[in-house]
Amino acid sequence: MTNQLKTYPLKDWGHDIQNPLIIAGPCSVETAEQLDKTVEGLAKQGVKIIRAGVWKPRTRPNTFEGVGSIAFPWIQEAKEKYKVKFAVEVASPAHVEEALKNNIDLLWIGARSTANPFTVQDIADSLKGVDIPVLIKNPINPDLALWIGALERIHQAGITKIGAIHRGFSNFNDTHFRNSPMWQIPIEFKTRFPDIPLINDPSHICGKRALIPQVAQMALDLNFDGLMIESHFHPDSAWSDAEQQLRPEDLGLLLASLKTRQVFVDDLAFASQLQSIREQIDDTDREILELLSRRMGLVEKVGEYKKINNVAVFQIERWKKVFQTRPEWATALNLNPEFVKELYKMIHTESIKKQTEVMERHLS
Ligand code: PEP
Ligand code: MN
């Protein structure tokens, strides 16, 4: 089933890996004037697809929940005046109906909706027989299956122009990002569905302007197909997400500064060099695994001795020492000590598991 997921036809829109699809626009439509000024600025920067929230899913009540349907005449006017397409978030069949009635070109499903299969199914049912591109944001929780499931529901409704948006995942204590990118999840998505366009939303990942360039560049380096970025003619007075929106001029500067990379390389010398380095990496990985296997063998041996001498598996003093020395050794070897700390947490968990198995084997 999953293999049958069709793709959003990027080529039809004149985009490829070197010309990423750019969707930009305000977090929310606020007033006719705000929309006009913002779209005017974006059109000047060459943006062809505008995002605009009409109905806003807010975490807390009594915050601005979008202006609703009064936005559509303003959107229609901006479409005609600046020759742009519009993308709007839909979270219910009523939203779908209104968006379609009002000539919206693209729909997207927000992160909170993707997390709820009932909502996604309702939206899917309301899209039967409709031919419109639908972009599906990742769910707020880091669950790849839930994200894929939402794509499948929309696809099963007959929508063939499907794309995915990576907007990061809710977190409790990541003070750097508003939503942790957890890049391994979109990478896994891209590996499984190489043909489905994957768009990065650095605005909702970062939560603040200053971080956006590095995340957007990271996405392009990972072969994302496009970017969705929030932009407002006067971000500081925005009614929602003020800290993460960029002025259209700044968005233009950002777009000009991003580097796209070549994915398929024809140069033979380059290809053989790459091949040779990859072979060395394969050999090194094999050595790492042989060493790990030797380490686990030693761990089992220690388990045997602990068992014979009736000593508990977990010994805090020993663990403290391991946990202190390994990051120090790592630093001396020019490795990131934080990375090595994480690695040793996993190695330690596995070692405890192995020793517990040894203990149980002896008991039976
Ligand atoms: C948005 O795009 O404005 C939005 C609400 O995003 P998300 O669904 O990613 O939180
Ligand atoms: Mn927003």
Quick: pLDDT tens for 226-242.
999 999 999 999 999 99
- Tokens 């405890």 sit at which residue? 352
For the Cβ of 178 lying below 6 angstroms from any atom of ligand 1, the answer is: no
Residue 180 has pLDDT above 80, yes or no: yes
| Residue of the CA atom closest to atom 1 of ligand 1 | 27
| Residue 360 pLDDT level (bands cut at 50, 70, 90) | confident
Record the tokens describing residue 338, joined without a space: 């934080």
| Distance of CA 112 from the midpoint of ligand 1 (Å) | 8
Is the Cα dihedral 203, 209, 211, 214 positive or negative?
positive
The region of weakest confidence among 95-99, 171-175, 331-335 is: 171-175
What amino acid occupies position 86? F
| Residue of the CA atom closest to atom 9 of ligand 1 | 111
| Residue 162 pLDDT level (bands cut at 50, 70, 90) | very high
For the Cβ of 219 lying below 6 angstroms from any atom of ligand 1, the answer is: no
Q: Enter the DSSP assignment of 53.
A: B
| Residue 123 pLDDT level (bands cut at 50, 70, 90) | very high
- pLDDT tens-digit readout, 53-87: 999 988 888 889 999 999 999 999 999 999 999 99
Residue 244 has pLDDT above 90, yes or no: yes
Record the tokens describing residue 98, joined without a space: 């209104």
Is the Cα dihedral 174, 340, 190, 85 positive or negative?
positive
Residue 264 has pLDDT above 80, yes or no: no
pTM of the model: 0.81
| Residue of the CA atom closest to atom 8 of ligand 1 | 110
Q: Which atom, in ligand 1's list, is nearest to the CA of 113?
A: 8
Burial 299-315 (b: 16+ CB within 10 A, else e): beebbeebbeeeeebee
Rg of the Cα atoms in the chain: 25
DSSP string, 230-268: EB-SSGGG-SS-GGG-B-HHHHHHHHHHPPP--SS---H
% of the chain surpassing 90 pLDDT: 79
Q: What's residue 2's pLDDT?
A: 47
Q: Hey, which bits of the chain come out as E strands? A: 21-25, 49-51, 85-89, 106-109, 134-137, 162-166, 198-200, 226-230
**Nearest Cα residue to 322 out of 298, 341, 300:** 341
Record the tokens describing residue 205, joined without a space: 């990942």
**Nearest Cα residue to 49 out of 90, 10, 98:** 10
Q: What's residue 1's pLDDT?
A: 46
